């Protein structure tokens, strides 16, 4: 019997799943779909996330090009997060996932 090996290194789905693997990543993308926000504003919208986890997931999304981090050279430092074009293109997919989740999860 031949085994079918899935080439995860060259599979676009496998690569992008790494970008959204964080516990809060899809929720962060949804929150940023409403517009540019500062770290503290995102944190207020996610009261159950720790600062460390929020930072980790924001960095993950930034490293994959889904969000943009803008640092302004002012004192105190001002940092804003927004969706890139890639992030904006993910919104319809995220909406579909949300609809699917609502259909198949109990309240």
CA nearest 59: which of 35, 39, 30, 88? 39
Positions in the chain whose pLDDT score sits under 50: 1-2
71: phi > 0 → left, psi -120 to 50 → alpha, else beta; which?
beta
Domains defined along the chain, listed by start: 21-97 (1.10.10.10)
For residue 4, the model assigns a pLDDT of: 53
For residue 14, the model assigns a pLDDT of: 80
Q: How far apart, in whole angstroms, are the C-alpha atoms of residue 55 and residue 74?
A: 20
Helix/strand/coil for 69: strand
Q: Is the peptide bond before 11 cis (omega within 30 degrees of 0)?
A: no
For residue 1, the model assigns a pLDDT of: 46
Q: Give the containing element (helix H, strand E) for 19.
A: helix 12-19
Q: What is the pTM of this model?
A: 0.85
For residue 6, the model assigns a pLDDT of: 66
């Amino acid at each position: 019997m031949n085994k079918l090996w899935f080439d995860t290194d060259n599979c676009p789905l496998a690569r992008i799943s790494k970008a959204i693997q964080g516990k809060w990543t899809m929720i962060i993308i949804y929150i940023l779909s409403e517009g540019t926000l500062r770290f503290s504003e995102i944190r207020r919208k996610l009261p159950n996330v720790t600062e460390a986890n929020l930072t980790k997931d924001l960095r993950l999304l930034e490293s994959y090009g889904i969000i943009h981090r803008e640092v302004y050279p002012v004192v105190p430092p001002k940092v804003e997060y927004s969706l890139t074009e890639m992030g904006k293109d993910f919104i319809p997919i995220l909406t579909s996932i949300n609809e699917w989740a609502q259909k198949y999860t109990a309240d």
